[in-house]
Amino acid sequence: MRYIITLLATATPALAEVPKVVTDIPPVHALVAQVMGDLGQPELLLARGADEHDFQLKPSQAGAVADSDLVVWIGPELTPWLDGAMDSRPEGAASLALLEAEGTMLRAYGEVKADGHAHEDEHGHEDEHAHEDEHGHEDAHGHEEETAGDGHDHGHDHGSEDPHAWLDPGNAQVWLGLIAAELGRLDAANAATYDANAKAAAEQIAALDTELAALLAPVKDKPLVTFHDAYGYFAEHYGLTFVGSIALGDASSPGAARLAELRGDLEAGGVVCLFPEVQHDPALVEQLAEGTTVKIGGALDPVGSSLEPGPGAYVAHLTGMATTIADCAGK
């Protein structure tokens, strides 16, 4: 099974108080906070405004990981800096790696999926929340990491797994149930509360999904370019046409050849919006768009690092992204 949870030594551990939970990034923290509700607050490791790719834990944060009853994280594919800290926890301590969780819909960079059909991942698990929207737009690049200035691609293989799975709201709904189940296993006295909170949060996200689909429907066919290839789940779920990105790699800098190629594409017309990104200097975006008909949109924030952390951050995260895209592409 892909539901990777490391169990404690006993099947039903008896905790004296609500479990101490640690999370890696704001969207995950928000989902756990919704499930815990008034019973307790999870700890968020990624500081506000920090870059998830090169973050370093403070000693106090490493201590929180070591002392936690449960760690809920995307997995080492996104936040490898947490992987080492996990070794300091007692053998068998509980953890939930969401990319490995049963029911998670996964995609590879540049992957095309058929419209409206259930999808199978590389493990043969069928997607239990197949989307009815129009999607299947392939990224116009191989998502390979570049070294600034040499114009050659390095790293990221075409087809490697995309870790930005929280940008599909269907995954978030699946995860809420899994988080509630694990918290209920650790804290049986409050299991019913965790379950009720998870169901309420899932209903809220379902309603949000309907609203965002309606908001984005008019701009589905508008070609868009982002700063880096982090939005495949969001584009696929809502049927958006993301045709490329400035940086081909997740944490790479674009080389001269890549910039020249992209500039040529923008000058040729067709691309409607070019989106900068939080944590990156917008000067490069402005330089590329100068003298073309391409509009510069608001800065996108794939990990939600600019948001105020809390239970409302996930809804705010997706709402902000959809609104930013619709505001630019819909004009």
Residue 51 pLDDT: 82
93-102, 103-112, 296-305: range with lowest mean pLDDT: 103-112
Structure tokens at 35: 């499930």
Q: Which domains does the chain have, with CATH numbers?
A: 21-104+168-210 (3.40.50.1980), 145-159+218-329 (3.40.50.1980)
32-41, 79-88, 138-147: range with lowest mean pLDDT: 138-147
Please give the span between the terminal C-alpha atoms of the chain, in angstroms, as a whole number: 46
Q: Computed from CA positions of residues 54, 70, 175, 160, in that sequence, does the dihedral angle turn out positive or negative?
A: positive
Cβ 69 vs Cβ 93: under 8 Å: yes
Give per-residue pLDDT as tens, 256-269.
888 888 888 899 88
Distance CA 74, CA 24 (A): 7
Residue 138 burial class via C-beta count within 10 angstroms: exposed 0-12, middle 13-18, buried 19 and up: middle
The pTM for the full model equals 0.81
Residue by residue, DSSP assigns 161-180 as: BP--GGGSHHHHHHHHHHHH
- The mean per-residue pLDDT over the stretch 181-190 comes to 97
- The mean per-residue pLDDT over the stretch 165-188 comes to 98
Cβ 116 vs Cβ 130: under 8 Å: yes
What is the CB neighbour count within 10 angstroms for residue 282?
Answer: 15
What is the CB neighbour count within 10 angstroms for residue 280?
Answer: 17
| Residue 5 pLDDT greater than 60, yes or no | no
42: which DSSP letter? P
Distance CA 130, CA 142 (A): 25
Residue 240 pLDDT: 97
Give per-residue pLDDT as tens, 302-320.
999 999 999 999 999 999 9
| Residue 22 pLDDT greater than 60, yes or no | yes
Ramachandran category for residue 151: left, alpha or beta (phi over 0 → left; psi -120 to 50 → alpha): left
- The mean per-residue pLDDT over the stretch 51-72 comes to 93
Looking only at the bridges linking them, the beta strands covering 145-146 and 153-154 are antiparallel
